[in-house]
Amino acid sequence: MYVPLHILVAIAAAVTILLVMLLRRDRGRDDLMGTPRKSTPRQPPPRIEIPPALAADVQALIARGQTIEAIKHVRRVTGLGLKESKDVVDGMKR
């Protein structure tokens, strides 16, 4: 099967353009223009209040160096997710 050279060149150019567009989109740039996309500013995470009894338990675990156990305990008692529980424990470490 014979494909003319100018057809192969056109196909290669189209594939190259599509690849460049895909790579730029993955890197947070607008298609073909190269300007960064505008992003909305991140909101700070909401302050999570925990009961004083839980805070005392978490402080005791932190003092013993059991940070992971403290995160697990916060998750178990409050039902928060992993990130939120870690943020609570990290906030108490400071």
Answer yes or no: is pLDDT of 83 > 60: yes
Please give the tally of structural domains in the chain.
Answer: 2
What are residue 60's phi and psi, to 5 degrees? -65, -40
Query: Would you state the structure tokens that stand for residue 94, as one six-digit string?
Result: 């400071």
- For residue 46, being part of any structural domain is answered with no
Distance CA 51, CA 47 (A): 13
Are 59 and 88 members of one domain?
A: yes
Are 86 and 57 members of one domain?
A: yes
Answer yes or no: is pLDDT of 34 > 70: no
- For residue 24, being part of any structural domain is answered with yes
Amino acid 7 reads: I
Distance CA 57, CA 85 (A): 14
Whole-structure pTM value:
0.53
Instruction: Supply the range of the domain harboring residue 73.
Output: 52-93
Are 58 and 26 members of one domain?
A: no
Helix, strand and coil percent figures for the chain, each rounded to 5: 60, 0, 35
pLDDT score, position 29: 56
Are 30 and 59 members of one domain?
A: no
The band of 58, judged by pLDDT with boundaries at 50, 70 and 90, is: very high
Chain centre distance of CA 36: 19
- For residue 39, being part of any structural domain is answered with no
The band of 72, judged by pLDDT with boundaries at 50, 70 and 90, is: very high
Are 30 and 57 members of one domain?
A: no
